[in-house]
Amino acid sequence: EVAVREVETACGQVTTDEVYEEEDRIRHDIRALVNCVRAKVSESVKPYVHMTATSYDIIDPANAARYKDVVGKVLVPSLTKLEGALINITLRETETVQVGRTHGQHAVPITFGFALAGYVSRLGGSIEALKALAVELPGKFSGAVGAYNASSLFFDDPEGFEAEVLAELGLTPAEHSTQIVPPEALTRLFCEVTITAGILANLSDDMRNLQRTEIGEVGEAFEAAQVGSSTMPQKRNPINFENAKSCWKIVAPRIVTVFMDQISEHQRDLTNSASARTYGEVVAYVVSTAKRLTRTMKKLTVDHANLERNLAMQKGLVVAEPLYIILAAQGHPDAHEKVRTLTLQAEREARPLEDVVVGDAEMKDYLEKMTSYQRQILSNPSLYTGIAAKKARAVAERWKQKLGT
């Protein structure tokens, strides 16, 4: 126990500069650290410093502990704050009707809250996955090739000793290790980090597209003195959403490096010696992106007038789907084709679809069979949102309760 306290005290006194200087001399990082610790303990304690351990009995548990900490204490809290901002907007805009878009084209009406609820759900899922994956990162203290060769010289139960050592760091041993822990747990974690970055990039793309001049449904807050262009004074660019997309371009390819580091020959090689040191940057980029998007989303403006304008832009063509379904339900022999020809006529004549439908002789009997609600949809597409508002509210409330945002 006295020896343990002496080593702990020595570890707290060692500086990085000392270790780097020793590494320059002997050309080995962990042995340099060992030498620096040994230099600060008594002669009787020196033999026990690093006894039975190999370098990656130190490095792999340290990496597992730090990634577990950074995910749990930095990344997840940052993402949870963004999730909270998304939930608030979702609940605020639950009933705000917006034209849905597929392939960049107007589809059928939804609500803006419903659109954001999709991101609430996706991001919430990633937050939960990150938490689960981080706590599963294993450690090792099994020696040079993972077979407990050295520790079995002194312990009847070297695996029990390993478990005790790792428990001090809040870790559990890998079921099987070589000189290193199996890479899959960390690989899965970084897959999820990359997935999360993709969700943030997708959100950013949607928001910046909705900010286009000709759409104008949302906007980033713009400071009074802020400048959007060095030559075009009128510009108000979606720089924060663009920055998030740019960070994703950095993060996404990095997963290939993680995959390549999965391969380590026999009981271990050093082909990840440079590449694995870049992993922390990936987490940093996603944290930075999450914080930036949180600030941006909290100040996001929603232009309800432009939302209404865009919904009405195609003069009711967005109700072609319910019209087709209603006709089919009434037994029309080729409802889809009939409505398609009516929409083409409406476009050609620049008339509201409802007017074309009412003026079509074949449609008279079908119109008379429609319910009052079905007729109202033809003249008021905002009524055709399905359960978008209900779904948006349910998703937002579920994640609000689950994450305590």
Residue 229 bears catalytic tag: yes
Helix runs in 93-238, H state only: 112-135, 158-167, 184-210
> How far is 197 from 258, CA to CA, in rounded Å?
15
Query: Which residue in the list 103, 230, 266, 372 is annotated as catalytic?
Result: 103
Give the integer Cα–Cα distance in Å for 71 and 77: 8
Using alpha carbons only, give the angle 141, 147, 150 rounded to the nearest 5 degrees: 70
Q: 42, 229, 273, 275: which is the annotated catalytic residue?
A: 229
Q: How far is CA 105 from CA 35, 311, 313, 318, in A?
A: 66, 12, 12, 10
Residues near 227 by Cβ (< 8 Å), separated by ≥ 6? Answer: 233
Q: What count of residues does the chain have?
A: 405
Pair of tokens at residue 254? 């990095």
**Contact predicate 399/87, CB 8 Å:** yes
In one letter, which amino acid is 202? N
CA nearest neighbour of 261 among 202, 318, 189: 189
Q: Which residue has the tokens 């995910």?
A: 71
Q: What are residue 173's DSSP bridge partners?
A: 139
Contact in structure between 379 and 358 (CB atoms under 8 Å): no
246 catalytic residue (yes or no): no
CA dist list (Å): 379 to 175, 312, 389 = 65, 10, 20
Cα separation, 320 vs 314, whole angstroms = 11
Residue with tokens 């897959």: 191
Query: Please, which contacts does 358-367 make with residues 24 or more away whose CB atoms are closer than 8 Å?
Result: 362/338, 366/326, 366/327, 366/330, 366/332
Residue 293 CA to residue 200 CA, distance in Å, equals: 8
Encoded tokens for 76 = 């997840």
Q: Which of the residues are catalytic?
A: 103, 229
